[in-house]
Amino acid sequence: MKRMLSLVCMLIALLILVSLVSGCASEESAKIAYISANENSRYQTTFSELNLGLVRDYRLVLPNADKSWVRIWVDGYHDGEKMGTSPLAELSCGLHPEKNSEGSMGIGIIRTGKKEYVFLYAPGVSMGPMELDVPLIDSGMSGWKYAIGNEQIGIEAGKTVVLGAYRHAEQAMRTYDLQDESSIEEMIKEDKTVLLLKIRVDEQAEPPRT
């Protein structure tokens, strides 16, 4: 009887283990891309040394690049309202000839006198700088905050992910959770100006129709 009970317990434990392993494998296979912050990259160093503005760099990995379409964009807010046309800047690419793709992507802000320009780049593609209607720096505090860290995270197909935010506040800058939608909404209301960098990767066999 004890031997039978022991065998039953072992069988139950084995079934639980198989279920956990299967669940983890299924969750992993649901990721269409992987991304991590690439702090202190050569792009950031160059911009800083030349005093051009700022660049915030990320490492983007596409395991199925030949069937993936990447869209990165910037939404801007000033005094709690969306700035100008939405998005302020946008870049799309994908359907690589190679199955796997890995490279740098990110955002840059160029300052020339009293004007600021924003641009985006991704593996093998970039866009020209777009002038911002609202100055990012006038008085107060400003800076960039990454929404993800140096540890690689997975991106699900069709899901929008916030990668970071450039913030300008007239007084103190509070800490907000950039992975929480309600916290982001509160930040937009409290800060003077906010730029949000976002990414979405879709699985498809041809470019989207415009």
Which of the listed ranges 23-27, 30-34, 131-135 does the model predict with the highest average pLDDT?
30-34
Share of the chain above pLDDT 70, in %: 82
Instruction: Report residue 40's pLDDT band, with 50, 70 and 90 as the boundaries.
Output: confident
* Three-state SS at 10: helix
Q: Are 199 and 35 in contact (CB under 8 A)?
A: yes
Mean pLDDT of 196-201: 97
Q: What is the predicted pLDDT for the residue at 13?
A: 47
pLDDT at position 26, please? 41
Does pLDDT of 110 surpass 60? yes
Write the pLDDT tens digit of every residue in 165-176.
999 888 888 899
